[in-house]
Structure 1
Amino acid sequence: MARKSLVAEVADALLDRIVSGDLEVGAALPSEAEIGETYEVSRVTVREALRVLTTQGIVRVTSGIGSIVTPLDQWQSLPAILRYRSARGDDGEVATQLVSVRRMFETEAAALAAGRLTSAALDELAECIERMRNGHDGDDVDVFVAADLRFHDIILRGSGNVFLAALFDPLTRVLAERRAQTSRVPEIQRHAIAEHAAILEALRAEDPDRARSAMDHHMQQTMDDLHAFVLAR
Structure 2
Amino acid sequence: MARKSLVGVVADELLDRIIAGDFPPGSSVPGELELSARHEVSRMTVREAMKTLEAQRILSVERGRGTFVNPLNRWSSLEAVLRAASEGQNEAAASVQLIELRRMLEAGACELAAARISDADIQALFGYVASMRAAHKVNDVAAFVEADLAFHDLILRASENVFVAVLFAPLHRVLEKRRAETSAVPTIQEHAIGHHQNIAEALESRNPSRSREAMDLHMQQTLDDLKNLVLEAP
Shared fold (TM-score greater than 0.5)? Answer: yes
5 Å-filtered alignment, 1:36-185, equals: 36-41=36-41, 46=46, 49-50=49-50, 53-54=53-54, 56-60=56-60, 68-76=68-76, 77-82=80-85, 86-88=88-90, 91-185=91-185
| Residue 148 (structure 1) shift | 1.0
Describe the superposition over 1:42-96 as per-residue Cα deviations: whole angstroms up to 9, x where unpaired. 6786567546534543125677888643333221332244268x525xx433322
CA distance in 1, matches of 2:221, 2:25: 37
In structure 2, do the counterparts of structure 1 residues 21 and 34 end up closer, same or farther at CA, with 3 Å as the change threshold? closer
Please give the alpha-carbon distance, in whole angstroms, between the structure 1 residues aligned to 2:3 and 2:179. Answer: 33
CA distance, structure 2, for counterparts of residue 8 and residue 180 of structure 1: 31
Percent identity, please: 48
How many residues align? The count is 229
2-side partners of 1:45 and 1:134: how far apart? 54
Task: Give a deviation string over 1:182-233, Cα, whole Å, max 9, x none.
Answer: 1100111111111111101111111111101111111121122122211221
Structure 1 Cα separation of the partners of residues 81 and 18 of structure 2: 15
CA gap 1:181/1:3 in 2 versus in 1, 3 angstroms: farther
Label 1:59 to 1:22 Cα distance change in 2 as closer, same or farther (>3 A): closer
Q: Unpaired runs of 5+ in structure 2?
A: none
Residues 88-134 of structure 1 show CA distances to partners (whole Å, capped at 9, x for unaligned) of 5xx43332222222111111111110020122322322232233223
- TM-score relative to the length of structure 1: 0.80
The AA in structure 1 aligned to 2:89 is A
1:30 aligns with 2:41: no
In structure 1, the partner of 2:221 is 221
CA contact (8 A) 1:78 1:171 kept: no
| TM-score (norm. length: structure 2) | 0.80
* Structure-2 change in CA distance of 1:97 and 1:3 (3 Å): same
Q: Report the equivalent of 2:190.
A: 190
Inter-partner Cα distance in structure 2 for 1:36 and 1:125: 54
Contact 1:111-1:208 at 8 Å conserved across structures? yes
* 2:210 pairs with 1:210: yes
Q: Secondary structure at the match of 1:160?
A: coil
SS of residue paired to 1:169: helix
- The one-letter amino acid of 1:112's match is L
Contact 1:26 1:71 in 2 (8 A): no
SS in 2 for 1:87: coil
Distance 2:105 2:47 in 1: 37
Quick one: which amino acid aligns to residue 25 of structure 1? Answer: G
